[in-house]
Amino acid sequence: MSAGPTPHTPLERWDFTIAGEVGEPRHWSWEEFRALPAEEVTTDIHCVTKWSKLDTVWQGVRVDTLLAGIETSAKYTVAFSDGGYTTNVPLADLTGGKAWVAFSYGGEPLAPQHGGPARMLVPHLYFWKSAKWVRGLRLAATDEPGFWETNGYHNYGDPWREQRYWGD
């Protein structure tokens, strides 16, 4: 889902940031990000608008890799993106090999319409939680609903419990 025009950020202007309750923020340029260890992920994805796609193939960097060595007491994160979107995810849902910053889909670089150059990949939650055009994560002690979450969508978004909207 997206609510406005597709952003087109050139790779030389792209970076990825981890900020918030982490002491000094960390930044990676595109080259630095792509030099991190990456892995292939084959997974099903579930959109809130009632479709699922099985066995999609991605390449990405584990969020664990980006967080390595960071000491934080934060329990929550907000992913922030070009175009101004945000989405909130508990930190525990991004660690332990459950989430990636993906840069490739189906063996091709991730196209802008699909969230490229990089998007979050959090396959165990509804796909709006996998922020397109992601530019960073902000870690926080308190939960802060993001763009879709303040516009009627569920705060957590578990597809197996069909948590689509407020109160589900």
Partner 1 sequence: MEGTTVLGRLNWQAADVVGVAAETPQVKTIAFDVPGWAGHRAGQHVDVRLTAGDGYQAERSYSIASAPGGTRLELTVVRIGDGEVSPYLTDELQPGDQIELRGPVGGYFVWEPGDGGPLLLVAGGSGVAPLMAMIRLRAAAGSDVDTRLLLSSRGWDDIIYRDELQRLNGNRLTVTHTLTASQPPGWAGYARRVDAGMLAEVGPGPAERPRIYICGPTPFVEAVAEALVHLGHQPQHIRTERFGPTGS
Instruction: Pick between residue 32 and residue 44 the one whose CB is nearest to partner 1.
Output: 44
Shortest reach from residue 45's CB to partner 1, in Å:
8
CA 24 vs CA 88, 90, 94, 100: distances in Å? 21, 21, 20, 22
DSSP 165: B
User: From the DSSP assignment, how many helices (H) and strands (E) are in the chain?
Assistant: 2, 10
> What's the rounded Cα separation, in Å, for the pair 134 and 94?
14
Shortest reach from residue 142's CB to partner 1, in Å:
9
Instruction: Pick between residue 22 and residue 145 the one whose CB is nearest to partner 1.
Output: 145
H-run or E-run covering 144: none
Q: Which residues bind partner 1 (CB under 8 A)?
A: 1-7, 45, 47, 49-51, 53, 83-84, 105, 113-115, 119, 127, 130, 132, 145, 147, 150-152, 154-155, 164-168
Shortest reach from residue 60's CB to partner 1, in Å:
14
